[in-house]
């Protein structure tokens, strides 16, 4: 299969980019499940931007930098903030119906924001965005979507016959290039090569490497792992964001996505409380329940360790029943389905893995260090989020940076088509000279239990030792175990015919390894990476935690 532009992933990043790149040629989107299934589809709170009269760019920039704990790239932050209003208008032109008060967008508030600036579609913002973008795509003749196509690995020089590789444009330059991907057609159980002039990774997040996550089952970190194997630079992988408020449920099955209680609920006035009904966030931050996520999640974690309880409560009584049903209809319904009337009762909540702040490093045009390979959305590290993402900046980053790729193509399209694009005949010939997927020596396995056991083990290790609060001893322990499991998986992979489950397992162990190593390399506490060995706070409220951890260490 050949195409001009290959986009891997059908979330907000991939879809919004596809609509734009279709101006320059044929766009093929491949996606591992049904096309709407993505992190985007579950986004609740909304998309942050300077849209209110009392707001300005400097305030949004400052909030983002403050949240990012000194690691944001100011240029990247300024870019998303300043382009925000234009991109939101563009989404409205694509047909996204944001909630409004008469003719003004209704703006919500979330943790770490000093102003109301979150455009939303009630509490189903992501679903509405997917609906609108997919509708536009269905009417665009230059875009094709293949569902249930799983990207396995990027095609680079090592997959092409050497004499052919050297004859390609810029073929003798030393930098690595990407020529497309190997993909598993999951329905036909067949592996194919997709050769493209330009490839874009828009594969989303990695929450499934933890036991409890707000992310759907697709979020197994495939893009990060694929890019890493192909030689891409990854950065800031230690900064995994835990959302403070996922719904606590007693029995959660493995791989189940836990249900999120949007931060917008706290933005509307809900307050975190202990089981005894007392508030606690004032002890940790003057912004109380609306402090940035790293602080709130760590405070909850600390209170749970002190009390031995399983959850804290979110009290919505200040919002009022009418407003709860009108502003948060999905949260209301989902809780009701589980027997909880949130207009009358408090919601039991716990932190859950939510977002990858690190990822494939790109420049401000979305270019990676592999020629012909671009990336946008959650899989990237653009410099926007630093050590902790500000709420609702993710959807914004995704649309701004997919637009950056489009702008780069638009301003260089003459030269790109002249010097970088291959002719159709050359592209076909390149495809013929790429090695077929080699599965000699492999066979179908009956041992599915090994896959599910390994997966569970990885998730347990990550949750137990690489969670909200870390220390070197625990990280080392996690590393030793993950290395052993990785070796086992490699051996199993080498003798087994690939399947979606096996490919996901291979990626999960790969990213677990990368997260742990990145965490060990950062010898300080910063943002989401809180190390007990390097406590950098005077805040005595976290000391109990330190003492508890030291005790545990003695007993380990
Ligand atoms: P995704 O939307 O995750 O899309 C990734 C796509 O890649 C999917 O189609 C997937 O199937 C595909 N894919 C992955 N691997 C492969 C593979 N190997 N082969 C083929 N296809 C593949 N952010 C905000 O800014 N505001 C919010 O209100 C908000 N709420 C959230 C609520 C929840 C419950 C969650 C989980 C996240 C939320 N976020 C929010 C974060 C935000 O939704 C995501 O970061 C963002 O949607 C990511 O978009 P994306 O296009 O990069 O990736
Ligand atoms: C939420 O609605 O709380 C999620 C917002 C986000 O992840 O930015």
For 240, the enclosing helix (H) or strand (E) is: strand 240-247
| Residues 526/292, Cβ–Cβ less than 8 Å | no
Residues of the chain above pLDDT 90, percent:
83
pLDDT at 162: 76
Residues 196 and 87 in one domain: yes
What is the reported pLDDT for 539? 45
The preferred substitution site among 19, 32, 43 for testing ligand 1, maximizing ligand atoms within 8 Å of CB, is 43
- Nearest-CA residue for ligand 1 atom 33 is 43
Q: What is the pLDDT of residue 452?
A: 87
Q: Identify the burial level of 251 via C-beta atoms within 10 angstroms of its C-beta, where 0-12 means exposed, 13-18 middle and 19 or more buried.
A: exposed
End-to-end CA distance of the chain: 54
What token pair was written down for 458?
């990885």
Instruction: Tell me, yes or no, whether 526 lies in a domain.
Output: yes
The whole-angstrom distance between residue 180's C-alpha and the CA centroid of its chain comes to 22
How far apart CA 433 and CA 351 sit, in angstroms, is 49
Instruction: Give the integer Cα–Cα distance in Å for 10 and 44.
Output: 18
**DSSP for 298-367?**
HHHHHHHHHH--S-EEEE-TTT-HHHHHHH-HHHHHHHHHTT--TTTSPEEEEEEEEEES-EEE--TTSB
Cα–Cα distance, 69 to 58 (Å, whole number): 17
Please tell me the number of the ligand nearest to residue 290's CA.
2
Residue 251, pLDDT score: 76
Average pLDDT score over residue span 347-371: 97
> Which atom of ligand 1 is least distant from the CA of 215?
36
Point out the least confidently predicted range of 181-185, 362-366, 415-419: 415-419
Mean pLDDT of 108-115: 94
Integer Cα distance of 164 and 158 in angstroms: 11
User: Ligand 1 centroid to 39 CA: how many Å?
Assistant: 3
Number of structural domains (the chain) is: 3
Alpha helix (H) residue ranges in 361-471: 393-415, 424-432, 448-465
Evaluate if residue 555 carries a pLDDT over 50: no
> Is the separation of the CB atoms in 368 and 346 below 8 Å?
no
**Looking at the structure, do residues 287 and 325 belong to the same domain, yes or no?**
yes
Q: CA 226 → CA 229, 386, 529, distances in Å?
A: 5, 23, 24
With a 6 Å cutoff on the Cβ, whether 45 touches ligand 2 is yes
Average pLDDT of the chain is: 93
In CATH, what number is assigned to the domain containing residue 468? 1.20.58.100
Examine the domain organization and report whether 218 and 87 are in the same domain. Answer: yes
Tokens of 472: 């070197």
Q: 387 and 345: one domain?
A: no
pLDDT band at 173 (very low <50, low <70, confident <90, very high): low
Q: Which residues contact 372 (CB under 8 A, 6 or more apart)?
A: 177, 178, 179, 196, 197, 198, 199, 420
In a domain, 151, yes or no: yes
Q: Which domain holds residue 54?
A: 2-239+357-432
pLDDT in tens, 232-282: 999 999 999 999 999 999 877 767 899 999 999 999 999 999 999 999 999
pLDDT exceeds 60 at position 542? no
* The predicted structure's pLDDT at residue 252: 72
Q: How far apart are CA 39 and CA 46, in angstroms?
A: 13
Q: Are residues 224 and 262 in the same domain?
A: no
Q: What is the pLDDT of residue 254?
A: 65
Q: Which residues contact 4 (CB under 8 A, 6 or more apart)?
A: 24, 25, 26, 27, 196, 197, 198, 421
Q: Which residues fall within 8 angstroms of residue 114, CB to CB, at 6 or more apart?
A: 59, 62, 63
Please give the residue that has the higher pLDDT: either 256 or 347.
347
Residue 68: the pLDDT is 95
272 is a domain residue? yes
- 432, 465, 498 — which closes off a domain? 432
**pLDDT reading at 141 higher than 80:** yes
Q: In this predicted structure, which of 130-139, 217-226, 415-424, 540-549 has the lowest mean pLDDT?
A: 540-549
| CA–CA distance, 208 with 317 (Å, rounded to integer) | 33
Q: What is the CATH number of the domain that holds 36?
A: 3.50.50.60
- Look at residue 161 and tell me whether its pLDDT is greater than 90: no
Whole-number pLDDT of residue 169: 64
51 and 185 inside one domain = yes
Residue whose Cα lies nearest atom 40 of ligand 1: it is: 43
Using the atom order of ligand 2, give the atom closest to the CA of residue 48. 8
439 falls within a domain: no
Asked if 422 and 468 sit in the same domain, the reply is: no
Report yes or no on 244 lying in a domain: no
What pLDDT sits at residue 536? Answer: 66
**One domain for residues 370 and 471:** no
- Among residues 355, 388, 409, the one where a domain terminates is 355
Look at residue 222 in the predicted model and tell me its pLDDT.
98
Q: Is residue 204 part of a domain?
A: yes
Find out whether 521 and 278 touch, Cβ atoms under 8 Å.
no
**For residue 541, pLDDT beyond 60:** no
Q: Do residues 22 and 140 touch, judged by C-beta distance below 8 A?
A: yes
Measured between alpha carbons, how far is 455 from 256 in angstroms, rounded to an integer?
13
Please give the Cα distance from 403 to 87 (Å, whole number).
8
Do 473 and 420 sit in the same domain of this protein? Answer: no
- Burial of 378 by CB count in 10 Å (0-12 exposed, 13-18 middle, 19+ buried)? buried
Structure confidence at residue 550 (pLDDT): 40
Residue 443 domain-assigned? no
- Centre a 10 Å sphere on the Cβ of residue 89 and count the other Cβ atoms it contains: 12
Q: Cβ neighbours of residue 225 under 8 Å, at least 6 residues apart?
A: 506, 507, 510, 511
Q: State the pLDDT at residue 530.
A: 96
Give the pTM. Answer: 0.94
Tell me, what CATH number does 349's domain have? 3.90.700.10
* C-alpha to C-alpha distance for 191 and 347, rounded to whole angstroms: 46
Tell whether 383 and 393 lie within a shared domain.
Answer: yes
Residue range 374-393, pLDDT digits in tens: 999 999 999 999 999 999 99
Which of 6, 7, 8, 9 for mutating ligand 1's site (highest number of atoms within 8 Å of CB)? 9
Output the pLDDT for position 109. Answer: 94
Percent of the chain clearing pLDDT 70 (strictly above) = 94
**Is pLDDT larger for residue 29 or for residue 160?**
29
Same domain, yes or no: 79 and 223:
yes
- Edge-to-edge strand list for the sheet holding 47-48: 47-48, 118-119, 107-108
Q: Say if 440 falls within a structural domain.
A: no
285 pLDDT more than 90: yes
Q: Quickly list DSSP for 121-161.
A: STT-HHHHHHHHHHHHHHT-TTEEEEETEEEEEEE-GGGB-
What residues act catalytically?
Answer: 293
Let me know whether 314 and 405 are in one domain: no
Q: Around Cβ 456, how many Cβ atoms within 10 Å? A: 13
- Interatomic CA distance for residues 118 and 45, integer angstroms: 7
| Ligand 2 center from residue 485 Cα (angstroms) | 33
pLDDT recorded at residue 164: 76
Does 215 contact ligand 2 (Cβ within 6 A)? no
Ligand 1 pocket check: which of 148, 203, 264 to mutate, most ligand atoms within 8 Å of Cβ? 203
Among 322, 355, 388, the domain-final residue is 355
Counting every residue written for the chain, the total comes to: 556
Give residue ranges with CB within 6 A of ligand 1. Answer: 8-14, 30-33, 37-40, 42-47, 125-126, 150-151, 202-205, 214-215, 218, 222-223, 260, 355, 377-378, 392-395, 398
**Ligand 2 contact via 152 beta carbon (within 6 Å):** no
pLDDT > 80? residue 35: yes
Task: Check residues 239 and 160 and name the one with the higher pLDDT.
Answer: 239
Which residue shows structure tokens 């606690």? 280
Pairing of strands 27-31, 143-147: parallel
């Amino acid at each position: 299969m050949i195409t001009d532009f290959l986009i891997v992933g059908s979330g907000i990043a991939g879809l919004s980019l596809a609509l734009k790149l279709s101006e320059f040629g044929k766009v093929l989107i491949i996606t591992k499940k049904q096309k709407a299934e993505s992190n985007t589809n579950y986004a609740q709170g909304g998309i942050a931007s300077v849209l209110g009269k009392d707001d300005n760019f400097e305030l949004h920039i400052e909030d983002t930098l403050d949240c990012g704990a000194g690691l944001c790239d100011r240029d990247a932050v300024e870019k998303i903030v300043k382009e925000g209003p234009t991109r939101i208008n563009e989404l409205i032109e694509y047909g996204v119906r944001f909630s409004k008060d008469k003719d003004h967008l209704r703006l919500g508030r979330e943790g770490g924001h000093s102003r109301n600036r979150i455009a939303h579609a009630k509490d189903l913002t992501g679903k509405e965005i997917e609906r609108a973008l997919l509708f536009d795509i269905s009417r665009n003749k230059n875009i094709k979507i293949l569902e249930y196509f799983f990207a396995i690995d990027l095609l680079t020089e090592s997959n092409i016959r050497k004499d052919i590789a050297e004859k390609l444009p810029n073929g003798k330059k030393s930098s690595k290039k990407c020529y497309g991907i190997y993909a598993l057609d999951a329905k036909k159980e067949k592996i194919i090569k997709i050769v493209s002039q330009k490839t874009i990774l828009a594969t989303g997040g990695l929450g499934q490497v933890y036991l409890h996550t707000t992310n759907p089952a697709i979020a197994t970190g495939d893009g990060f792992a694929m890019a890493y194997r192909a030689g891409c630079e990854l950065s800031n992988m230690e900064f995994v964001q835990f959302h403070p408020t996922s719904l606590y449920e007693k029995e959660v099955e493995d791989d189940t996505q836990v249900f999120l209680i949007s931060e917008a609920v706290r933005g509307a006035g809900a307050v975190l409380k202990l089981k005894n009904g007392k508030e606690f966030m004032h002890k940790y931050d003057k912004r109380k329940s609306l402090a940035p996520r790293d602080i709130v999640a760590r405070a909850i974690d600390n209170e749970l360790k002190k009390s031995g309880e399983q959850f804290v409560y979110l009290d919505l009584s200040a919002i009022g029943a009418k407003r709860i049903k009108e502003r948060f209809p999905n949260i209301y319904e989902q809780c009701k389905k589980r027997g909880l009337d949130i207009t009358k009762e408090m919601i039991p909540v716990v932190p859950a893995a939510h977002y990858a702040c690190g990822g494939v490093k790109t420049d401000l045009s979305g270019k990676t260090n592999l020629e012909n390979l671009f990336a946008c959305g959650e899989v990237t590290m653009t410099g926007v989020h630093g050590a902790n993402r500000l709420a609702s900046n993710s959807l914004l980053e995704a649309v701004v940076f997919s637009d950056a790729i489009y702008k780069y193509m638009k301003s260089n399209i003459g030269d790109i088509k002249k010097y970088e694009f291959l002719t159709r005949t050359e592209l076909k010939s390149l495809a013929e000279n790429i090695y077929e997927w080699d599965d000699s020596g492999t066979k179908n396995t009956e041992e599915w239990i090994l896959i599910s056991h390994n997966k569970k083990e990885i998730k347990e290790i990550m949750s137990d030792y690489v969670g909200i609060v870390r220390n070197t001893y625990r990280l080392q322990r996690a590393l030793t175990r993950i290395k052993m499991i990785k070796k086992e998986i490699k051996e199993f992979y080498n003798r087994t015919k690939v399947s979606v489950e096996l490919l996901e397992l291979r990626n999960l162990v790969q990213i677990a390894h990368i997260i742990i190593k990145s965490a060990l390399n950062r010898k300080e506490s910063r943002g989401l990476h809180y190390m007990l060995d390097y406590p950098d706070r005077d805040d005595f409220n976290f000391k109990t935690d330190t003492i508890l951890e030291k005790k545990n260490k003695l007993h380990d």
